[in-house]
Chain A
């Protein structure tokens, strides 16, 4: 072969020591870095939530002052959204998309590494704002003006961190699209791709569409703050509500950016452990695409109380209700995949099934929130907090945990401790409900969100919720311990790992060699 001289370059393993992680362009290494980073941020964001729930354990202010409380809620959200959930999905994309489509690596490996380090430095910047005079941003993760313009020295750093995160996400998204479009193995037509890869292809388009919009919104904040523009200042002819429209035009697709890859994961896991291909594969793809499309025309349902024309309220209500249709199709198809299957309950399946039930509960409260007249009551209460935590925690996060338990043997080459994993599942599944279900009650009973202290009638359910939070948070330490244990050793995993699986990732040995699919596989 003419390339014989170069052969060694391609076959070499990773570099030794820290240099491996600083200079690698290998999709598996970068995927690992994203996943480890995400786990770290999950713990950091969790610590912030811990402070919030500890303060809310009983009425009165015991631990922190209100300004710091607001920093905690704001940073909890920013860290969890941009530092934990999104990077986890990117890490999975890096690891699994090339393996699922039979590609040797991501299409743009250097940009891949660059986007990871941009993200890491973005968070270094964002977290450093705690040390600034005035503390970290405290205006909520939505950064609404005029309140956000009262932020202290942290303001420009937070904006710059968001720009870096956005650039990182856009690069990651471009990489995913280029890889999927150009590097599929011969015979891997689009409608043969695994659903995880499909969900990410659509997610990547969403990212490219909306991250620049967010960058634009925060840049306008920056010029309002430093250069006397009046985009969002009524005194200069601007409008604070304009920011909300622009933000949610980004923000609504953003929530689907966090859930669509989860849909992909759950589809794969439910199929594997029902020992049956996914029911209605094409309908699943079209449902994801419809949800992605609808995500662009429902943004104002986040701001029904802001004073919109009647016609606007009706349009956004009806468009939002429509999302229930493709989402319903997905839920029903997952149920039909279980139907006449041969079901077993390994840890990934447990998390996927919990997702199925609990995400659906979040879907119901979402449908209720779409109804404008009742949203006038629900808006900005704990009912909303309960809703989006149901779709994000036992939704996205449980799906991500299912993904880790599903592919961890492929990554490390070891089986993990099944009993520990099941213990982690049951503790998480119970405490997550103790944590978030009572928040529905609090919201309906009239407790606003984002308050550090509350009237006495809210005391009981807040205490229950806090107990759930402590239990859920501590249970996640089991998850960390399990992953460390599995990385260090354990029973050898076979190439197939699970009894019934399909997809190219299961044709390579476990752990997946440093370089896979140097020669494109055959796909029939």
Chain B
């Protein structure tokens, strides 16, 4: 065995070791797979993702298996002699053209079904207009005077400055916390109207399954419906490059049971009226 070969083997082992050592100490699927989320849409999307993943895995097993088998069985060092007559095989070639088409059709049918449901924004119980700014969000509850801005929380903003000396790990929900979160009711279809004031942004909370661009001068629609039994705080980020602080305009949504939400909205309306009165 040559020195280079030995070095190669060793670096392979060292590389694999480094990978293993770097694995997170506890297995947490949320760190390596899509979240199932808390809405009808996110679950449908998650299911489709897993269907695609398993189909691809199955195809990979077959094709990679054939490749590996060929590389083992037909090595020259094992005395394999090339078969120069194996140049065409009409039946085989037809099969590996037609079978993929059938698999694709099988993938396309559920995708189209789900897509139609996702794009149906009718029958919503609440509409919120979302406006992207460089670099914060604005929420307006249509039909009321309630509107507010939602910016990165101060604690994160201090820590994220270069040379701040603050360990990001010591900040709760680092980069995923805002001053005023969007508040929505659970169990209600909430329609979002998205637009932007300056450049294109994108509004995304992974647990809701959807993201959509906020384009200046145009209005896009999407809907979310958080499960009735899943109130809580859900976090996401701007998902379209929007300039220097693109990484620092999180989306935070508080989903409250309907009665609590109604109380919150009433309170906000009072605040809005009193602000208007003092002006």
**How many angstroms between the C-alpha atoms of A10 and B115 in the bound complex?**
65
* A147–B71 touching, CB < 8 Å: no
- Counting CB contacts under 8 A, is B182 at the interface? no
* B202–A380 touching, CB < 8 Å: yes
* B86–A336 touching, CB < 8 Å: yes
B214 to chain A: closest residue by CB: A307
**How many angstroms between the C-alpha atoms of A66 and B161 in the bound complex?**
10
Which residues of B47-92 are within 8 A (CB) of A?
A: 48-49, 52-53, 56, 59-60, 63-64, 66-67, 70-71, 74-77, 80-84, 86-89, 92
Say which residue of B33, B75, B118, B167 sits within 8 Å of A60 (CB atoms): B167
* A434–B100 touching, CB < 8 Å: no
- Counting CB contacts under 8 A, is A317 at the interface? yes
Task: Report A-chain residues with C-beta under 8 Å of the C-beta of B5.
Answer: 419, 422
* B160–A453 touching, CB < 8 Å: yes
Task: Report A-chain residues with C-beta under 8 Å of the C-beta of B8.
Answer: 422-423, 426
**How many angstroms between the C-alpha atoms of A361 and B48 in the bound complex?**
19
* B71–A376 touching, CB < 8 Å: no
* B84–A420 touching, CB < 8 Å: no
**How many angstroms between the C-alpha atoms of A280 and B5 in the bound complex?**
36
* B104–A321 touching, CB < 8 Å: yes
Which residues of B10-41 are within 8 A (CB) of A?
A: 11-12, 15-16, 18-19, 22-24, 30-35
Given A147-B199, A317-B111, A456-B169, CB of A335 within 8 Å of CB of B97: no
* A61–B161 touching, CB < 8 Å: yes
Task: Report B-chain residues with C-beta under 8 Å of the C-beta of A422.
Answer: 4-5, 8
Chain B contact patch, size range:
35 or more
* A448–B67 touching, CB < 8 Å: no
Task: Report A-chain residues with C-beta under 8 Å of the C-beta of B75.
Answer: 342-344
Say which residue of A59, A325, A364 sits within 8 Å of B60 (CB atoms): A364
Which residues of A134-165 are within 8 A (CB) of B?
A: 138-140, 144, 146-147, 150
Count residues on chain A whose CB falls below 8 Å from chain B CBs: 103
Task: Report A-chain residues with C-beta under 8 Å of the C-beta of B142.
Answer: none
* A329–B96 touching, CB < 8 Å: yes
* B104–A360 touching, CB < 8 Å: no
- Counting CB contacts under 8 A, is B231 at the interface? no
**How many angstroms between the C-alpha atoms of A150 and B15 in the bound complex?**
43
Say which residue of B18, B63, B217 sits within 8 Å of A360 (CB atoms): B63
- Counting CB contacts under 8 A, is B230 at the interface? no
- Counting CB contacts under 8 A, is A452 at the interface? yes
Contact stretch, chosen from A182-190, A439-447, A509-517: A439-447
* A445–B45 touching, CB < 8 Å: no
Which residues of B190-237 are within 8 A (CB) of A?
A: 194, 198-200, 202, 204, 206, 209-213, 215-218, 220-221, 236-237
B101 to chain A: closest residue by CB: A325
Say which residue of A140, A317, A335, A344 sits within 8 Å of B241 (CB atoms): A140
**How many angstroms between the C-alpha atoms of A441 and B27 in the bound complex?**
13
Say which residue of A233, A324, A373 sits within 8 Å of B115 (CB atoms): A373
- Counting CB contacts under 8 A, is A207 at the interface? no
* A445–B33 touching, CB < 8 Å: yes
- Nearest-neighbour CB distance to chain B for A498, whole angstroms, equals 12
**How many angstroms between the C-alpha atoms of A463 and B104 in the bound complex?**
36
* A371–B107 touching, CB < 8 Å: yes
**How many angstroms between the C-alpha atoms of A367 and B106 in the bound complex?**
13
- Counting CB contacts under 8 A, is B246 at the interface? yes
Task: Report A-chain residues with C-beta under 8 Å of the C-beta of B217.
Answer: 233-235, 239-240
- Counting CB contacts under 8 A, is B188 at the interface? no
A236 to chain B: closest residue by CB: B217
- Counting CB contacts under 8 A, is B279 at the interface? no
- Counting CB contacts under 8 A, is A274 at the interface? yes
**How many angstroms between the C-alpha atoms of A139 and B243 in the bound complex?**
7
* B48–A373 touching, CB < 8 Å: yes
* A360–B237 touching, CB < 8 Å: no
**How many angstroms between the C-alpha atoms of A438 and B258 in the bound complex?**
40
**How many angstroms between the C-alpha atoms of A283 and B166 in the bound complex?**
60
Task: Report A-chain residues with C-beta under 8 Å of the C-beta of B32.
Answer: 441, 444-445, 461
Q: Is the interface of A mostly helix, strand, loop or mixed?
A: helix
* A307–B82 touching, CB < 8 Å: no
B164 to chain A: closest residue by CB: A60
**How many angstroms between the C-alpha atoms of A240 and B197 in the bound complex?**
13
* A342–B74 touching, CB < 8 Å: yes
* A420–B116 touching, CB < 8 Å: no
- Counting CB contacts under 8 A, is A38 at the interface? no
Say which residue of B80, B87, B111, B236 sits within 8 Å of A372 (CB atoms): B111
- Counting CB contacts under 8 A, is B178 at the interface? no
Say which residue of B52, B74, B112, B118 sits within 8 Å of A343 (CB atoms): B74
Task: Report A-chain residues with C-beta under 8 Å of the C-beta of B198.
Answer: 146
- Counting CB contacts under 8 A, is B240 at the interface? yes
Task: Report A-chain residues with C-beta under 8 Å of the C-beta of B244.
Answer: 65-67, 70, 138
* A364–B59 touching, CB < 8 Å: yes
Task: Report A-chain residues with C-beta under 8 Å of the C-beta of B216.
Answer: 146, 234, 240
* A376–B211 touching, CB < 8 Å: yes
- Nearest-neighbour CB distance to chain B for A149, whole angstroms, equals 9
* A314–B7 touching, CB < 8 Å: no
* B243–A147 touching, CB < 8 Å: yes
- Nearest-neighbour CB distance to chain B for A378, whole angstroms, equals 8
- Minimum-distance CB pairs A-B, first 4: A234-B217, A451-B247, A419-B4, A307-B220
Additional pairs, 8, CB under 8 Å, beyond known A310-B115, A377-B34: A150-B243, A373-B114, A377-B49, A379-B239, A426-B11, A448-B238, A448-B247, A467-B22
Q: What is A's interface to B at a CB cutoff of 8 Å? A: 59-62, 64-67, 70, 138-140, 144, 146-147, 150, 233-235, 239-241, 274-277, 279-281, 283, 305-307, 310, 313-314, 317-318, 321-322, 324-325, 328-329, 331-333, 335-336, 338-344, 353, 356-357, 360-361, 364, 367-368, 371-374, 376-377, 379-381, 419-420, 422-423, 426-427, 430-431, 434, 441, 444-446, 448, 450-457, 459-461, 463-464, 467, 471, 500
Q: What is B's interface to A at a CB cutoff of 8 Å? A: 2, 4-5, 7-8, 11-12, 15-16, 18-19, 22-24, 30-35, 44-45, 48-49, 52-53, 56, 59-60, 63-64, 66-67, 70-71, 74-77, 80-84, 86-89, 92-93, 96-97, 100-101, 104, 107-108, 111-112, 114-116, 118-119, 159-162, 164, 166-169, 173-176, 194, 198-200, 202, 204, 206, 209-213, 215-218, 220-221, 236-248
What are 9 A-to-B residue pairs whose CB atoms are below 8 Å?
Answer: A277-B84, A310-B119, A367-B56, A373-B111, A374-B49, A379-B202, A419-B5, A426-B12, A448-B238
